[in-house]
Chain A
Amino acid sequence: DIQMTQSPSTLSASVGDRVTITCRASQSVSSWLAWYQQKPGKAPKPLIYRASNLESGVPSRFSGRGSGTEFTLTISSLQPDDFATYYCQQYSSYSRTFGQGTKVEVK
């Protein structure tokens, strides 16, 4: 199975900050990479698909880049609603795997 590794595990930031989360795959997943946001007690919500495509309704302050084995999710100006945990997911095969998550917390 393809392993996904996110960094950092926890990120402390303030409203207005630019934040970047990195996701690395153990082998190339081309651009078959999605990002999700999850808040406590809630289901994950898709943000980005195919590495850089914004899901409908997702604010434009979210952006994704990368291909192959290295990907990033950037929030250009952190808003109060953005404090949450973020997961990357590869879908290059039927065995979809997630990164371990990055918690974005208040600094």
Chain B
Amino acid sequence: EVQLVESGGGLVQPGGSLRLSCAASGFSFRDYAMNWVRQAPGKGLEWVSVISGSGVSTYYTDSVKGRFTISRDNSKNTLYLQMNSLRAEDTAVYFCAKDMGRGNYGDYDYFDYWGQGTLVAVSS
């Protein structure tokens, strides 16, 4: 059974930093691209970032470029999102989502499994 379990969310002041983790199990983690998707309170879904299965390729939505860094440790089956210079508009539930594609050759796909999400609140 595929499981994705996020952790690391919490309350942080504007300008602060936070690192999210997503522990994966039940599939060959290194073989699939992984994503972060966020959902602000009462709003829709917003794709944030993706990393290829090998970890070589990463992409970000424009609003987080230069502030967020996605990474993965395939030996630990864990996905990360380092979030720096946080702003109030980053407040959201952050989901990790498994890609159906590997991403190693640009083959990104839809998301077949999602974690339960972790809440990040940016406020003074």
- Is chain B found bound to chain A in the same assembly? yes
Binding site for B on A (CB under 8 A): 1, 34, 36, 38, 42-46, 49, 55, 87, 89, 91, 93-101
Alpha-carbon gap, A55 to B106, bound state (A):
23
Min CB–CB distance A49 → chain B (angstroms): 5
Cβ-neighbour of B47 out of A46, A49, A95 (below 8 A): A95
Any A CB within 8 A of the CB of B89: no
| A49–B44 CB distance below 8 A | no
Binding site for A on B (CB under 8 A): 35, 44-47, 50, 57, 59, 61-62, 95, 100, 103, 106, 108-112, 114-117
Alpha-carbon gap, A11 to B112, bound state (A):
26
Alpha-carbon gap, A42 to B44, bound state (A):
13
Min CB–CB distance A34 → chain B (angstroms): 4
| B44–A91 CB distance below 8 A | no
Q: Contacts A43-B114, A91-B110 given: A96-B35 contact, CB under 8 Å?
A: yes
20 residue pairs A–B, Cβ–Cβ below 8 Å: A1-B62, A36-B45, A42-B116, A43-B115, A44-B114, A46-B111, A49-B100, A55-B112, A89-B111, A91-B108, A91-B109, A93-B108, A94-B57, A95-B61, A96-B50, A96-B110, A98-B44, A98-B47, A99-B44, A101-B44
